[in-house]
Amino acid sequence: MDDTKMEKIVSLSKRRGFIFQGSDVYGGMSGTWDYGPLGVALKRNIINLWWRKFVEERDDIYGVDASIIMNRKVWQASGHVDTFVDPLCEDTVNHRRYRTDHILKDNGLSADGLTMEQMDEVIAKNGIKSPDGNPLSASRTFNMMFKTFVGPTEAEDSVAYLRPETAQGIFTNFKNVVDTFYPDLPFGVAQVGKAFRNEISPRDFVFRSREFEQMEIEYFVDPDDWQTAFDELLASTHSFLKQLGLSDEHIHELEVPAEDRAHYSQRTIDIEYDFPIGREELMGIAYRTDFDLQNVQRVSGKNMVYRVKGSDREFVPHVIEPSFGVERALMAVLTESYREDEVNGEKRVYLQLPEHLAPIRYSVSPLLKNKPELVEKARTIYKSLSQQYPGRVMYDDSGNIGKRYRRQDEIGTPECVVVDFQTLDDDTVTIRDRDTTKQRRVKTSEIIN
């Protein structure tokens, strides 16, 4: 646990326009976060990288974009209405509520594999009190889905839920994809989008939010072939983590033991990352058998059987599900890239973001902003570079050059282009490297196509 590093990342995120507290101007709303100009760019770069790798560069995975509000039967069939719950206990004096497993964790005890009743026993046995020092109530379950009403009446039959995962929007479209694209097995369907969970205690910056984004794939397989598909998707996941710039030493595979897996899952690996808040789940990959499609078939009455082309073999496909949270990926990228060093005797903070993820690829500055000839040239270079890197070039002329470099360092801009008087003579510019802080002089034709 490195609280200081976490605080520094949260502070930089706010100071530099990456991430703000949701509804900040009205005092905030816990568990919600707003993305500023750089945060949204970084988040999009992560999502686009994932989509390119898992959808566009493969011919066996199809994209969908399903509604966030779905027929409530979806959540009855999937089991979310009955079982998507967290254990909740209450401070018996001030009535503040807590997740029981978090209470154990904060007291250095593990809740892994424990039932709610067993957690209560551990609390009683160890005399654990609420964070305010008061006795805790017995736990009860709390459903994490946000409930709403569709249509003008707030009646029981108009209840709907905000989706708590994107996965069910994939299962409900399984038949649509099969009937319109006739894919051979194995094939996958991918979706990126918002998910909502009424977390009891959202915490740790964007790590546990009430509104977040998921990047999920349901990869449908012949049950005989699940292991091959699982291995391949796990390998592709590791390759994606590399592309995010996460180093191997900070990534850990946790083989989830049977007692901690969902009853239908025959294998689950959680990929954990060394966040400043400790080693925590970044994403998971699970072999979910045919549990989900069987549920859809049972409740909808529609046939989810897949017939293997050119044979009589028919079965409900099994599924491997790699499931990623975008915010956790982003938090891992910020953690990995956050650096401090010293330049000319002064402390420097910079983000060593991989070039393809950096919100800004180049900044362009005139050495002096009161020299029209430098400004004109810098503007021309800025315009040309912007065509090559749309939305990823920043014209930066505020403050002196040192201040500009520091600002660009903090937002992870790999290179700063500066136009000076020599530029006017020989069409060269200086390019200053974020990581080494070294400058080199190059012909503008080297950076502008």
Which parts of this chain interact with ligand GAP (CB under 6 A)? 165, 167, 197, 199, 208-209, 212, 214, 216, 281, 283-284, 323-325, 327-328
Q: From the CA atom positions of the chain, what is the Rg in Å?
A: 26
> Please, what is the minimum distance in Å from the beta carbon of residue 286 to ligand GAP?
7
> Please, what is the minimum distance in Å from the beta carbon of residue 38 to ligand GAP?
20
CB 206 within 8 A of CB 212: yes
CB closer to ligand GAP, 45 vs 168: 168
Question: CA-CA-CA-CA torsion for 109, 115, 117, 119, nearest 10 degrees?
Answer: 10
Structure tokens at 85: 């719950």
Task: Give the span between the Cα atoms of 350 and 12, in whole angstroms.
Answer: 10
> Please, what is the minimum distance in Å from the beta carbon of residue 244 to ligand GAP?
13
CB closer to ligand GAP, 216 vs 409: 216
The type of residue at 220 is F
Closest residue to ligand GAP in the complex (CB): 325
CA distances from 421 to 200, 368, 394, 426, 444 (A): 59, 10, 21, 9, 14
Task: Give the span between the Cα atoms of 339 and 348, in whole angstroms.
Answer: 8
CB closer to ligand GAP, 72 vs 328: 328
Instruction: Report the relative pairing of strands 314-315 and 306-307 from DSSP bridges.
Output: antiparallel
> Please, what is the minimum distance in Å from the beta carbon of residue 233 to ligand GAP?
14
CB closer to ligand GAP, 292 vs 397: 292
Task: Give the span between the Cα atoms of 78 and 266, in whole angstroms.
Answer: 17
Phi, psi for 6 (deg, rounded to 5): -60, -45
- Find the helix or strand (DSSP H, E) in which 417 lies: strand 415-419
CB closer to ligand GAP, 135 vs 245: 245
> Please, what is the minimum distance in Å from the beta carbon of residue 210 to ligand GAP?
7
> Please, what is the minimum distance in Å from the beta carbon of residue 277 to ligand GAP?
13
CB closer to ligand GAP, 172 vs 209: 209
> Please, what is the minimum distance in Å from the beta carbon of residue 165 to ligand GAP?
4
Classified as helix, coil or strand, 13 is: helix
Residue ranges of E strands in 311-396: 314-315, 318-325, 338-343, 346-351, 362-366, 393-395
Structure tokens at 344: 């000319």
CB closer to ligand GAP, 30 vs 400: 30
Residues present in the chain in total: 449
CB 382 within 8 A of CB 391: no
CB closer to ligand GAP, 265 vs 384: 265
> Please, what is the minimum distance in Å from the beta carbon of residue 185 to ligand GAP?
21
Classified as helix, coil or strand, 324 is: strand
CB closer to ligand GAP, 75 vs 212: 212
> Please, what is the minimum distance in Å from the beta carbon of residue 449 to ligand GAP?
38
